[in-house]
């Protein structure tokens, strides 16, 4: 069994054109900036939007001409959307009841799913008596209690606090992995959601698919600025050349080309913030072959045990708090970024890349 979708949708001046497949038992994550078409895609799958052209199948079953209630779809959004006048158990029982099950049977199904999501203790409470994380557990149970063929997850962790989100993410990982007959489509901005839950990712930009593939492969080797940003990597666009990449303004970024990066074709140079060394701009110390970029500090942000320095060149570097103090870094301070060529990988660019980094400094290869 497999979900297969071809969707063409027009909303005003916006056009969405997308096709994809999701084998049963797997999760596809949809990534993309605001306005890229993620919500339009989910609306088309659920039947809440009517595309100008759509072919949507789950196995041999045609979904595109069916009304929303007949598509066997479960929806979980960032808002639990629980009925305030019903108890928790009756909220969950609503799903099988809406498919024709009796009251007693529906409550039995509801209790089974509440136990599955570790929420049985809340069965007799009203939604107003639940925390955000507890309410989202109940919403997960309700989405699954109807035994849907297709599960749509729309930013399910976005409204949760930092303590509740990991628990719900772990819960979803467990329940999604337990069913091999259901296909799941997840919309998220969080790379942790994609890495923890999704087998494959599809990246949208301007209504078009610009990247797709296995989750870890796409996030480890992004081809667009948006994907690089959510993966926590630096990306510079240009053209593949023998020694790496040539930017639009003629600057050379030295790096190692992958086998599929064709000379003279659009490409992107990708490297981690941890591979970027930061020096005072007047520091003239020589070094091994590297890329040198003169820029200034735009922001300093805590990032786990390190400080992430963001620059006016659109690039980031990770430094220890001690290094930030020693260099007396603060917004507006001129700095020099050094990136060894061996830490830069040059990949083919996506066919329709999103806006990419433009260097606002002097970049050249030395050594």
Q: Which of 323, 322, 320, 326 is nearest to 305 (CA)?
A: 320
Rounded CA separation 223/231 (Å) = 11
In-domain check, residue 223: no
Q: What percent of the chain has pLDDT over 70?
A: 94
CA atoms within 13 A on the CB side of 227: 32
Q: Which domain holds residue 174?
A: 2-216
- Residue 102 burial by CB count (10 A; 0-12/13-18/19+): exposed, middle or buried? exposed
Q: Are residues 103 and 139 in the same domain?
A: yes
Rounded CA separation 277/271 (Å) = 12
Q: Are residues 41 and 76 in the same domain?
A: yes
Residue 288, pLDDT score:
57
Contact 150, 75 (CB under 8 A): no
Rounded CA separation 317/329 (Å) = 12
Q: Are residues 320 and 245 in the same domain?
A: yes
Q: What sign does the CA torsion over 138, 90, 86, 82 have? A: positive
Residue 167, pLDDT score:
85
Contact partners, residue 364, CB within 8 Å, separation at least 6: 251, 252, 291, 292
Residue 339, pLDDT score:
94
Q: Are residues 199 and 309 in the same domain?
A: no
Q: Which of 159, 5, 170, 167 is nearest to 71 (CA)?
A: 5
Q: What's the CA angle centered on 44, arms 38 and 50, to 5 degrees? A: 130
The separation between CA 233 and the C-alpha centre of its own chain, rounded to angstroms, equals: 14
Q: Are residues 10 and 126 in the same domain?
A: yes
Q: How many residues does the chain have?
A: 367
Q: What sign does the CA torsion over 202, 207, 24, 59 have? A: negative
Q: Are residues 196 and 243 in the same domain?
A: no
- Give the tens place of pLDDT for each residue, 70-92: 999 999 988 899 999 999 999 99
- Give the tens place of pLDDT for each residue, 196-242: 899 999 999 999 999 999 999 999 999 888 899 888 899 999 999 99
Residues in the chain predicted with pLDDT less than 70, given as ranges, are: 284-289, 351-367
Q: Which residue(s) pair with 268 in the sheet?
A: 237, 347
In-domain check, residue 330: yes
DSSP string, 264-294: TSEEEEEE-GGGEEEEETT-----SSEEEEE
Residue 354, pLDDT score:
44
Rounded CA separation 206/15 (Å) = 8
In-domain check, residue 226: no
Q: How many CB atoms lie within 10 A of CB 21?
A: 13
Residue 172 phi/psi, 5-degree rounding, is -65, -40
Residue 120, pLDDT score:
94
Domain holding 158: CATH number? 3.40.50.300
Among the candidates 193, 216, 239, a domain finishes at: 216
In-domain check, residue 32: yes
Residue 198, pLDDT score:
94
Joined together, the tokens standing for residue 124 give 């007799």
- Any idea what DSSP says for residue 209? E
Among the candidates 174, 191, 216, a domain finishes at: 216
Name the domain count of the chain: 2
């Amino acid at each position: 069994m497999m979900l297969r979708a071809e969707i063409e949708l027009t909303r005003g001046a916006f056009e969405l054109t997308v096709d994809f497949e999701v084998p049963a038992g797997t999760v596809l994550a949809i990534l993309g900036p605001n306005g890229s078409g993620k919500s339009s895609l989910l609306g088309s799958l659920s039947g809440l939007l009517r595309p100008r052209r759509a072919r949507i199948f789950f196995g041999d079953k045609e979904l595109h001409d069916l009304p929303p209630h007949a598509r066997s779809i479960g929806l979980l959004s960032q808002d639990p959307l629980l009925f305030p006048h019903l108890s928790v158990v009756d909220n969950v029982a609503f799903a099988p009841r809406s498919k024709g099950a009796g009251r007693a049977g529906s409550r039995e199904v509801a209790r089974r799913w509440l136990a599955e999501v570790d929420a049985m203790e809340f069965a007799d409470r009203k939604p107003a008596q639940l925390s955000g994380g507890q309410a989202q557990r109940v919403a997960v149970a309700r989405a699954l209690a109807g035994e849907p063929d297709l599960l749509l997850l729309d930013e399910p962790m976005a409204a949760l606090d930092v303590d509740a989100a990991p628990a719900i993410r772990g819960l979803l990982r467990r329940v999604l992995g337990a069913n091999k007959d259901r296909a799941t489509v997840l919309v998220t901005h969080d790379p942790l959601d994609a890495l923890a839950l999704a087998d494959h990712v599809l990246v949208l930009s301007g209504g078009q698919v610009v990247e797709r593939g296995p989750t870890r492969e796409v996030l480890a080797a992004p081809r667009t600025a948006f994907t690089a940003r959510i993966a926590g990597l630096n990306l510079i666009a240009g053209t593949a050349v023998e020694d790496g990449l040539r930017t639009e303004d003629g600057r050379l970024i030295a790096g190692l080309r992958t086998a599929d990066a064709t000379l003279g074709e659009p490409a992107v140079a990708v490297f981690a913030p941890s591979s970027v060394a930061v020096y005072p701009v007047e520091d003239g110390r020589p070094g091994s072959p590297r890329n040198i970029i003169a820029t200034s500090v735009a922001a300093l942000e805590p990032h786990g045990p390190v400080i992430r320095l963001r620059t006016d060149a659109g690039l980031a570097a990770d430094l220890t708090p001690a290094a930030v103090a020693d260099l007396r870094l603060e917004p507006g301070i001129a700095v020099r970024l050094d990136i060894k060529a061996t830490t830069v990988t040059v990949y083919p660019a996506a066919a329709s890349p999103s806006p990419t980094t433009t260097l606002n400094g002097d970049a050249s290869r030395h050594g």
